[in-house]
Chains A and B, each alone.
Chain A
Amino acid sequence: MCSLCGILGCDDHWTSAIARPGVYTRNIDRLSRRREAADRMKFANAVLSPRRISVSEWQGTSYVLSSPTGRTQIFDSLAHLWPEAEAMAGREFDPLDPIYLEQLKALS
């Protein structure tokens, strides 16, 4: 929980699982957590870019999606990233869609 604003942060998504014995996670200490979160946002923004949406972390507890028209949407868990991004874009993010994959290839 954030000691300043009291927001409960309880995201235990598998990509950044809470560290416990036997579990692979980069959510170990402050530095690893921040580095991985920054990389994840960077990569997520790359794959969101064909639909002109961007995402950023907010206070280390939530995420904010933004559209080019200024719409924003806050969500708590990485589990909600794609449903929220699809709702904002008004279309699917389908990693099996050949056109979308071509757009991603053009980025690399």
Chain B
Amino acid sequence: MSEQPIGATPINLLTGFLGSGKTTLLQRLLTDPAMASAAVLINEFGEVGLDHHLLDRIDDNVVLMKSGCICCTVRGEIADALLGLHSQRARGDIPWFDRVVIETTGLADPVPALSTIQSHPVLRSHFSIANVVTTVDAVNGAKQLSDRLEAIRQVGAADVVVITKTDLADETRTSDLRAALTRLNPTARQVVAADAASMDFIASSAALRTEGWDAAARHAAHDHDHHHRHHHADDAADAKIRSFAITVDGPVDWTAFGVWLTMLLNRHGDRIFRVKGILNVAGEDRPVAIHGVQRLVHAPVHMSGWPDADRLSRIVFIVDDLDPARIEASFHVFNRLSEKVLSHRASGCLESAAPR
């Protein structure tokens, strides 16, 4: 199952804090035959771009964007660079590429780049976001996560977290970092850099967005319960940033859910790093997976089936200083309101024609 428009070129966004080993990882992965036909966009912060000199594989498909911070000045440049690559490929001016890897600057919040690609009227027809890969340095990662909001946002946006420099850190440090990363983003898969492979980039977005995801939701739900009993004083980025899951017994009204989540993200999107959910949508046999990063929500995935007999809807949130109980209460108010406002659905006269 894929959510890419037919013929759309997948884009991997590679992010990670300054010095966390993005370029080293990319350099290694580009030698893999599976990544041989990838085009690379590099965004660097500062007057002089350096990272592209570190990449051996410089060719016509490597585009350097050096206007500075990707999160404020380069959105147009990303769009221009991608459109340029697309036209040059179509004209045959550059070698064919079947994938684009965008390496962001270490200070970037990856969301604006994702948002640019998904909302641009031309780009969204030709490119699709495959996943976000975030590198975290085992030596300095914990400190960066406690000091720098950019680092937290990068981890929050990740589908895959690659832990680098584990050979320089002792085991305790690495396992503490892993635990902190799990608390921050239980939905992301963690891999050690030495084990990172091209498959971490190539796996389809739909698979990444649903794979192992149930376990993550259960973990977050457990953690949420745990928070009620204990206070995690040692949380990586302060107890204010945390993940939790809402579980819903009974069907979710899709229309009400859409209105609720858009309203919630409009008002609190800056403080919701991630939302990921598997929903038992009223009138549907198969579950629907939703996946958002801050205000950006990806097209919902219609999954092939439930993983087990459990039909509970679960929505995982990673939030900064928002009260889980309030979010849960708000969800239920909207879902219940749908029973009243959209009561004609329950009459059954329209359900028989419910779309699949």
Contact = CB atoms under 8 A, between A and B. Distances in A.
A74 interface: no
Interface string A45-58: 01100000000000
B24 interface: no
A78 B263 CA distance: 11
B345 interface: yes
Interface in B206-227: 206
- Tell me the dominant secondary structure on chain A's binding face: helix
B355 A28 contact: yes
Among A16, A43, A78, A105, the most chain B Cβ lie within 10 Å of the Cβ of A43
Interface in B12-47: none
A17 B138 CA distance: 39
A73 interface: no
Contact of A82 (B267, B322, B329, B339): B267
Q: How large is the interface on B (under 10, 10 to 19, 20 to 34, 35 or more residues)?
A: 35 or more
A47 B299 contact: no
Contact of B342 (A20, A26, A42): A42
Contacts of B97: none
B337 A94 contact: no
Given A82-B267, A108-B337, A22 B206 contact: yes
Given A14-B299, A96-B330, A44 B345 contact: no
The B interface, classified by DSSP as helix, strand, loop or mixed, is helix
B301 interface: yes
B168 interface: no
B267 A40 contact: no
A21 B2 contact: yes
Of residues B254, B255, B264, which shows the largest number of chain A Cβ atoms within 10 Å of its Cβ? B255
Contact of B263 (A10, A14, A46, A95): A95
Contacts of B50: none
Contacts of B302: 22-24
Contact of A95 (B254, B281, B288, B330): B330
Interface string B316-356: 00000011001101100110111111100100001001010
29 contacts: A10-B121, A12-B299, A13-B262, A14-B258, A14-B297, A21-B3, A21-B6, A23-B300, A25-B300, A31-B353, A32-B355, A36-B255, A40-B259, A47-B334, A79-B262, A81-B262, A82-B262, A86-B266, A92-B267, A93-B263, A95-B263, A95-B330, A96-B330, A101-B329, A105-B333, A105-B336, A107-B337, A107-B340, A108-B333
Given A32-B353, A83-B266, 6 more contacts: A43-B338, A95-B263, A96-B267, A96-B268, A96-B326, A101-B330
Interface of A: 10, 12-17, 20-26, 28-29, 31-32, 35-36, 39-40, 42-44, 46-47, 78-79, 81-83, 86, 92-96, 98, 101, 104-105, 107-108
